[in-house]
A and B are shown apart, each in its own frame.
Chain A
Amino acid sequence: MATIRRSRFVNPRLGIFFSIFTSVFVAAVCGLMIGELMGLGSRMVGGLMFGVTVLFVGLIGAASTNNSEADFYVGGRRSPSFFAGLSLTIAILGGIGTVAIPGIVLRQGMDAFVLVLGWISGLVLAAVVIAPFLRKFGAFTLPGYLGLRFQSRTIRALSAVIAAAACLLIAAAELKLAAQIGTLMTGQPMIGLLVILTLFAGGLGVLGGVRGASWMGAAFAIVATLAICVPATIVSLMISNLPLPQMTHGALFRASAWLERGQVLPEKSARLFEASFSGTGLMPLDTRFLDMYHAVGYGAMPFGILVIASGIAALPMLVQRAGTTPGVYDVRKAFGWAVLITGFLLLTIMSLAGFMRGYIVQQVVGVAGDQLPLWFQSLEQSGAMATSSKTRTVALGDIMVQRDSVVFALPVAAGMMETLVRLAQAGGLAAALAAMCAHIVALGTIIADDLIAGFRAHSIAPQKRVAVGRIGIGIGAVSVAGLATVVQDPLTAALAGITIAAGALFPVLALSIIWKRLTRAGAFAGLVAGLATTVALMTLSSLGQITMSGLMAAAVGGPVSFLIAGAVTRISAHPSRTILEYVRDMRVPGGEAVYDRVLRQERRGKPPAEM
């Protein structure tokens, strides 16, 4: 039996390439700073920063163009653990994690931990339960795995529809967010930027597939990390003389808490299963930061964490990325890196929100409405913040903040150069584009491989498969752009995608690995029950027919799916020997990937397994 030798595949010069990319990007930012000192206008700096980010990463994407089936669908299975983890981190966090979560932290305080803990726990869950086994199985897509695991085209098609819906919602949310940030940077209309960014992500996805998305993801991650860490570190140095924003911002919360205690704020208490997050408009800071359970209920906190964690763990994009590493040990390490980097970035992101809250509480609250600090007046003009008190003393509840502008507002509040304000925006843009590319490629490969080619009795030739994949990614990009035009709140759309993945996909995916006796009928019933329950509850919640939040739909749909899948499996016939052999093989790291072996045998003329 062929043995995977992982060290052979990895490009030893990757570290050098990405070091050069980082140096060139830093040089470009320094160049813009010099340009700004020489008189470059704000709009010009923003436009150039947008151009630099998109162009530099776009070059990496264009250089990843390939025609090989393995490169296009699984990045050649040769991404080193660190870069796979880096790419995975930014694709998971995305613009939602880097731009929307800080806004939630600022406005809703510690209730935002439902998102923070859900995000990081999703990676932990995937690292332990999902990714290593799916890497050994080796399927190119999540529905492809379920189809072969259960030898059923029906399950493959049904899971493809569910996975496509999740990818579509998240990609559209990220595209909308990227276009909003692009508008801030360039001043161009939203619709134009939607078209440009769709052409960018879709075009490069068509050329490079998973390989392109993976390398672009690593480059975007470098840009986003720099953009998040640089302003946070500078503010930390200004406030405490320590370049450790992750540690210094907490003390600021404590100091601000003393001032917040003097404020008269309405008493708020969330219902048991309520999880309401701030919208995109200007909303007042009417809660104390250290108070909990005013926006997320006592029941919604643990269930919300579990829903987000299981939704993240079952994302089709994440499963696809697991296949890009040379082996099972590498995928475990890649997820280890992803958890470490995500934890670091989440702490830094929370520090940005903490510093901003500190600036607001200490410099704006208690000041007369006509004597506000210049930075606040500047943010008022840009629409990022406002106060309802024009002449009297400003109270905390009078201050209104736009959720998605918090990360960009901090450099303004700290009096940094325009280039650093634009760098923060470039970080949000990079994170949103990375996630969007990853989800568009996952969506496109699902459309191509599972919905277009998946119904054929025999696998198609490698070159034709790549061509179909390109068509699928093109269709995916256009669909995402269409949906993005109607998305109102990116966070709501992304959470809807995660909820669908948690309620409909995760139970069957987890059971298919842990429980080898899970049958085709059980998996089908589990998928249908999970999807129907989750979507029905989400619809009722959005129509206001039930008091439960949409996110909580998967807290009911997931267990229903587990129970139905288990019950139907108990009363149905045992799985075939081939299926049991696949599962046993999947659980052991050594040896050839199951999917690679099946595909090789099929292409040599051996009849495909019964489906």
Chain B
Amino acid sequence: MIDWQERKIYWRDTKWQMVATLVPYFIAILALPIYGEVLNGKSVFGIPLGYFLLGHAILTVAAVVVAGFVNRQDAIDDWHGAKEDT
């Protein structure tokens, strides 16, 4: 079980992990629609670029971001001895 002093460090790492996961993701989510229409002039795999980035790319990035979060948070749990099965 995680000791008292380690809890503070664990929570600090967890908070940074949250920030590092969410901030870039939400910047992309909120900024991309502004340029969506303009980007549609170009295409990738025959798909209008704006549509591709807002649809395919963001939905893929969302899955990758959460998968990365799960793995990194598990590593943080492991590092600080906060895992459930230990």
Contact = CB atoms under 8 A, between A and B. Distances in A.
Interface string A205-222: 000000000000000000
A336 B59 contact: no
A292 interface: yes
A120 B83 CA distance: 28
Contact of A327 (B59, B73, B84): B84
B50 A110 contact: yes
Contacts of A327: 84
A305 B30 contact: yes
A537 interface: no
Interface string A307-346: 0000000000000000000011100110110011001101
Contacts of B5: none
A250 interface: yes
A129 interface: yes
A584 interface: yes
Interface stretch (A35-43, A160-168, A413-421, A586-594): A586-594
A574 interface: no
Given A347-B59, A590-B2, A254 B43 contact: yes
Contacts of A4: 84
B50 to A, nearest CB: 7
A277 interface: no
Interface in B1-38: 1-2, 7, 10-11, 14-15, 18, 21-22, 25-26, 29-30, 33-34, 36-37
Given A117-B29, A121-B29, A305-B29, A251 B46 contact: yes
Contacts of A333: 70
Contacts of B66: 123-124, 127-128, 335-336, 339-340
Contacts of B22: 124-125, 128-129
B56 to A, nearest CB: 7
Interface in B58-86: 58-60, 62-63, 65-67, 69-70, 73-74, 77, 82-86
Contact of B34 (A127, A128, A298, A350): A298
B51 A110 contact: yes
Given A120-B58, A124-B25, A588-B82, A250 B45 contact: yes
Contacts of A350: 55
Contact of B26 (A121, A254, A347, A590): A121
The CB with the most chain B CB atoms within 10 A, among A114, A329, A343, A514, is that of A343
B47 A253 contact: yes
Contact of A110 (B34, B36, B56, B73): B36
Nearest to B83: A590
A306 B36 CA distance: 18
A227 B20 CA distance: 37
A113 B37 CA distance: 12
A303 to B, nearest CB: 9
Nearest to B18: A128
Interface string A107-145: 000100110110011011101110010000000000000
A6 B40 contact: no
A290 B51 contact: yes
A349 to B, nearest CB: 11
B11 A587 contact: yes
Nearest to B41: A290
Given A121-B25, A301-B33, A336-B70, 18 more contacts: A5-B84, A6-B84, A110-B36, A116-B54, A128-B69, A247-B45, A250-B56, A254-B47, A290-B50, A292-B37, A301-B34, A305-B29, A332-B74, A336-B63, A343-B62, A347-B59, A588-B10, A590-B84
12 contacts: A6-B84, A113-B55, A116-B55, A120-B58, A121-B62, A123-B62, A127-B66, A127-B69, A250-B48, A250-B55, A292-B36, A329-B84
